[in-house]
Amino acid sequence: MAGVLYALVALGFVLIFKASGIFNYAQGVLALFAALTLVGFQNGQVPFAHLINAIFGTQIHEFGWHLPAVVAILLTGAVMVLLAILIERLILKHLVNQAPIILFMATIGLAYFLEGFGDIMWGADIKKLDVGLPQGISDTVESVTDSLFGYGFFIDRLDIVATVVAALLVLSLTLFSQFTKYGRALRAVADDHQAALSVGISLRFIWVMVWSIAGIVALVAGVMWGAKSGVQFSLSLIALKALPVLMLGGFTSIPGAIVGGLIIGMGEKLFEFFVGPMIGGATENWFAYVLALLFLVFRPQGLFGERIIERV
């Protein structure tokens, strides 16, 4: 279930990579920005309150009202779509047909900008995120496993919700990618930008669409991670843990993101439990990267990724 949370972030990376062929370094920061915006809407926080107060000497912090969780989530989703449009208009449209490294560097710049912008907009303090998701140990799972195995499994209900949500996301995105007009257009853009443009596919529209979907996925990941550990700026670092997930599952496979996440999540926990005590512990910090390195050596395309052969 820890792996499912990693996979939620990895899904956003896969979507961007399928559309543009680049690793979107900003995906982790998108999850942070979405979670910060959601908490801000829920609490009725005034955007840029610290900056306004510093400039004008005021003491404005909140509007005095609190939005329901559903309304706040819908508004945050709209903000992520608006952000996708701005990213396309201000950054991506100027980088059409540029080398992948240029696009990758642009996402690094975007990540640092959004992190600082989120700090100025909503403040850098740790925030509690509560959208009504069930939390705490599941008594049902504990009692059922106790009756079956003689001992109970202590599983957080939030992890169960995250598992169900991730499964629904993967199913929806897979169906969208395979059986819809825009999904096929997305795959065409991923294969060849020039060829897609030549048959009338709007590269700019596809980028707005896929960044919007990635923003919604980032919102879901931000909600799950924020509810689990609070909304703080270390949330953006989950992008680093999603990278081994992508290497295992394959950069172009939506189901592969889930499978890779499950392997990483389960593998690091079991390795820490069985091998950790023998070598001093703290293996969870590096297990995923060592496993990813092995995959890079023996199967660089991952379990479900496409093997690309270039002939000269």
For residue 259, the model assigns a pLDDT of 87
Q: Of 312 and 92, which is predicted with more confidence?
A: 92
For residue 140, the model assigns a pLDDT of 79
Q: Using CA atoms, how far apart are residues 224 and 11, in angstroms rounded to an integer? A: 14
For residue 147, the model assigns a pLDDT of 80
Strand partners, 137: 156
For residue 131, the model assigns a pLDDT of 87
Q: Of 44 and 97, which is predicted with more confidence?
A: 44
pLDDT band at residue 311 using 50, 70 and 90 as cut-offs: low
For residue 77, the model assigns a pLDDT of 95
For residue 305, the model assigns a pLDDT of 67
Q: Considering only CA atoms, which of 6, 68, 25 is closest in space to residue 221?
A: 6
Q: What average pLDDT does the segment 147-157 reach?
A: 79
Residue 306 has pLDDT above 70, yes or no: no
Residue 275 has pLDDT above 80, yes or no: yes
For residue 200, the model assigns a pLDDT of 82
Question: For the chain, how many residues are written?
Answer: 312
For residue 72, the model assigns a pLDDT of 93
pLDDT in tens, 102-149: 888 999 999 999 999 998 999 888 888 888 888 887 777 778 777 877
Sign of CA dihedral 82, 111, 304, 275: negative
Q: Using CA atoms, how far apart are residues 45 and 57, in angstroms rounded to an integer? A: 18
Q: Of 142 and 309, which is predicted with more confidence?
A: 142
Q: Using CA atoms, how far apart are residues 31 and 231, in angstroms rounded to an integer? A: 10
Whole-model pTM? 0.85
Q: What percent of the chain has pLDDT over 90?
A: 14
Q: What average pLDDT does the segment 9-19 reach?
A: 80
- For the chain, the average pLDDT equals 84
pLDDT in tens, 161-210: 888 888 888 888 888 888 888 888 887 777 777 777 788 888 788 888 88
Q: What average pLDDT does the segment 264-268 reach?
A: 88
pLDDT band at residue 296 using 50, 70 and 90 as cut-offs: confident
Q: Of 50 and 281, which is predicted with more confidence?
A: 50
